[in-house]
């Protein structure tokens, strides 16, 4: 196995099965769901809920404690067995029905009033369970029902990260006084071959973000998920090298009759910020994974360039990005990025496996 300095620090292809402690310990994530459930308690109390991909069942327990009449907690993994034990340990076996199986394969004999799911993956769409949520919506959700979260937006912006580049690439030029620069081309290849999951700060982002995709869970279709493309044109806020692009997302928990302002890719950066501020009110809950917000277990997803591209303040950066599910495994992603600035052009493909 390549050393971490060479392999881009990516955990994607080498993860082992584990308990979902990082998700549950993620207070930003867990508190947002609990707050949203209580905010929309009037839609949950006395109603039937389906928890798609329930995991440990924590969201099912929150819904039951909020007064749900019945909760169908569905999960395809073996953790469904432990979820059943957790339900019993909390004296909720009369309200929560744990079903071990894919939501596409299980039998539920009644319609539901609410669908809740923590379906988001890295950069929102990697290993996402969104298609399963859409399946459950179309098969079981009653007209006027509630979906939590209701909306999701994927953002992207150019980033600078000299410390990361020096640690992954320049490191090999002098290793304990030994010239290992012969490894630099290989280091560049591996650092930019697949996306990197890591935490960056707002200071690393060198332009206003643009919207890659806005998803309304009440109307979005599986067909739309097959290819997501947007063009962008942003202006650098500083003199800095661009080391790549960062992606992050936010989800909103709106009521069934509410419609989130559609953050289309045509909006100006100022429009996006103003809309986000207006939504940060008592009428909705927003879970954000942006670099300037409190870190979550999703971190941010970085698409690193093999070589940095220098830009000056106010320099235009433009291009396009296309995201498609992998043909081999639809839960994995292929990302095609085109970037042009100051006469420099980059076309790069990333495989998120």
Task: Specify the residue for token string 């990197």.
Answer: 196
Structure-block tokens of residue 222? 């599986």
Is 127 labeled as catalytic in the residue annotation?
yes
Please name the residues in contact with 307: beta carbons below 8 A apart, sequence gap of 6 or more. Answer: 188
Q: Say how far apart CA 230 and CA 320 lie, in whole Å.
A: 6
Interhelix angle 27-39/58-65, nearest 10 degrees: 30
Select from 153, 131, 137, 75 the least CA-distant residue to 330.
131
Give, for 30, the enclosing helix (H) or strand (E): helix 27-39
Options 118, 193, 194, 250, the catalytic residue: 118
Options 35, 127, 198, 338, the catalytic residue: 127
- Check if the beta carbon of residue 196 is closer than 8 Å to that of residue 10: yes
Is 198 labeled as catalytic in the residue annotation?
no
Q: Say how far apart CA 145 and CA 280 lie, in whole Å.
A: 23
Task: Point out the residues that are catalytic.
Answer: 118, 127
């Amino acid at each position: 196995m390549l050393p971490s300095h060479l392999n881009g620090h990516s955990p994607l292809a080498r993860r082992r099965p584990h308990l979902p402690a990082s998700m549950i310990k993620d207070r930003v994530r867990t508190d947002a769901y609990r707050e949203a459930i209580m905010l929309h308690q009037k839609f949950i109390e006395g109603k039937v809920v389906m928890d798609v991909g329930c995991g440990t069942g924590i969201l099912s327990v929150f819904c039951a404690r909020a007064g749900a009449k019945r909760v169908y907690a569905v999960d395809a993994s073996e953790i469904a067995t432990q979820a059943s034990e957790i339900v019993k340990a909390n004296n909720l076996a009369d309200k929560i029905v744990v079903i071990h199986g894919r939501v596409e394969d299980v039998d539920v004999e009644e319609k539901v009033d609410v669908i809740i799911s923590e379906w988001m993956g890295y950069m929102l769409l990697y290993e996402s369970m969104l298609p399963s949520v859409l399946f459950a919506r179309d098969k079981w959700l009653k007209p006027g029902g509630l979906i939590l979260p209701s909306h999701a937006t994927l953002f992207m912006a150019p980033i600078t990260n000299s410390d990361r580049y020096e640690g992954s690439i320049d490191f090999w030029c002098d290793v304990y006084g030994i010239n290992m620069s012969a490894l630099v081309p290989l280091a560049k290849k591996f650092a930019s071959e697949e996306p990197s999951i890591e935490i960056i700060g707002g200071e690393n982002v060198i332009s206003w973000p643009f919207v890659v995709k806005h998803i309304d869970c009440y109307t979005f279709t599986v067909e739309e998920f097959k290819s997501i493309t947007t063009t962008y044109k942003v202006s650098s806020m500083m003199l800095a090298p661009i080391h790549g692009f960062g992606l992050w997302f936010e989800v909103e928990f709106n009521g069934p009759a509410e419609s989130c302002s559609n953050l289309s890719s045509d909006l100006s950066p100022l429009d996006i910020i103003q809309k986000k501020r207006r939504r940060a009110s008592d009428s909705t809950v927003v879970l954000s994974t942006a670099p300037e917000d409190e870190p979550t277990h999703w971190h941010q997803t970085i698409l690193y360039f093999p070589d940095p591209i220098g830009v000056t303040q106010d320099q235009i950066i433009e291009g396009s990005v296309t995201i498609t599910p992998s043909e081999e495994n639809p839960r994995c992603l292929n990302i095609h990025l085109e970037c042009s600035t100051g006469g420099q052009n980059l076309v790069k493909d990333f495989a998120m496996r």
